[in-house]
Amino acid sequence: MNIDQDPDQPSGAGARGTCTRETPPGGVLLYRLHGDHLDGVDFDEPQDGVRAVLVDLTDVGFFGSSALDALLRLRVAAQENGVTVHLVAPQPIAARVLQLTGADTLFPRHASLDAALRALA
């Protein structure tokens, strides 16, 4: 799930990407993506007891085909378990990639993490 991050590389624009996993209350699984180079991102499959998966794109500066592929694989795995994957705050580049590929219609989207958690409460 975690992508290696070069300790000499600053976070933010141009930084290697990271993916962290959190479990907020309420049966929600949260993945937070950070950085630009998300080539190695891979998500765990949703676990028992998870009713929704959130992917927070707030801190993603670049969103390429590898990240899109990982996101689509996560959606398929989640659907097999009856779980919906929601996107949180896709930044303009990610939103554009999702739109151009038609993947924007596959995921509910939320403007912020708070909004997503409220909608799932």
Which CATH number characterizes residue 49's domain? 3.30.750.24
Please check whether residue 1 lies inside any domain of the structure.
no
Rg (CA), the chain: 14
Which pTM does this prediction carry? 0.85
pLDDT in tens, 46-102: 677 899 999 999 999 889 999 999 999 999 999 998 999 999 999 999 999 999 999
Model pLDDT, residue 14: 58
Please check whether residue 2 lies inside any domain of the structure.
no
Model pLDDT, residue 9: 41
Model pLDDT, residue 15: 65
Query: In terms of residue numbers, what domain contains 100?
Result: 18-109
Please check whether residue 102 lies inside any domain of the structure.
yes
The structural domain count of the chain equals 1
Please check whether residue 4 lies inside any domain of the structure.
no
pLDDT in tens, 3-40: 333 334 444 455 678 899 999 989 999 999 998 878 77
Can you tell me the distance from the alpha carbon of 41 to that of 118, in angstroms, rounded to the nearest whole number?
27
